[in-house]
Amino acid sequence: MKPELVDPVDWNQIVEQIDIDFGDGTTRKLLGNHVPVSMERGKKKSFYLIPARWTSLLEKDFDTFDIMSMGIWFGEIAKGRIRLGISIINNLSQITDSIIIVSERAAQSFTYGRSILRESLLEIPPNLVRGQRVVVMDRQDRCLGLAVLSVDANKVSRLAKDRLVAKNIVDIGWYIRRLG
């Protein structure tokens, strides 16, 4: 499909979802000097960030090419919600406080698609709430992926060690499992 500039109405919905989870202005910071473009892929729509100077290329005839990607993969819309691409999550980790830190053992499990249990959680900001998406990182500040909290942060200490704290959404091992 042909890439095109993102419809402002669609983009406002994406901005709202990201900024609710990761803080006001987060999406603007992620964009930097890039422009969002989209490409239809069957029932899904993928989003990419391209340098602003590339926008003139969008007017070109791409009929002889099957474009699969361009710029930085931002994510895709799945079930009415933006699913951030793994390539943008590291940038996100640099500009948000919605981060949880997990043990080394949990980090390894998380990269195999597993979720986070109470015993594996090392740090969680007290203001995070159930249903909120968070960046998952290890002690060495390596970005591992995204998860959604299954409990409010201020209630985590009440949980038993084997209780679920955050469900894996996407992790750095996803590409290998998907394409491997």
pLDDT of residue 68: 62
pLDDT value at position 40? Answer: 82
pLDDT at site 142: 95
Identify each DSSP E strand in the chain by its residue range.
4-5, 34-41, 44-51, 72-78, 81-84, 99-102, 116-117, 121-123, 133-138, 143-149, 164-171
Sheet holding 143-149, edge to edge: 116-117, 164-171, 143-149, 133-138, 99-102, 121-123
145-154 pLDDT, tens digit each? 999 999 999 9
pLDDT of residue 53: 87
- For the chain, the domains span 4-88, 97-179
d(CA 133, CA 37) in angstroms, rounded, equals 23
At residue 91, the pLDDT reads 93
Count CB-CB contacts under 10 A for residue 117.
19
Q: Can you give the pLDDT at residue 179?
A: 65
What count of other Cβ atoms lies within 10 Å of the Cβ of residue 44?
11
- pLDDT by residue (tens digit) across 39-73? 887 778 899 999 988 888 777 665 656 666 678 99
On the question of pLDDT at 26 being above 90, the answer is yes
Domain 97-179: top CATH class:
mainly beta
Task: Report pTM.
Answer: 0.88
Average pLDDT of the segment spanning 85-114: 95
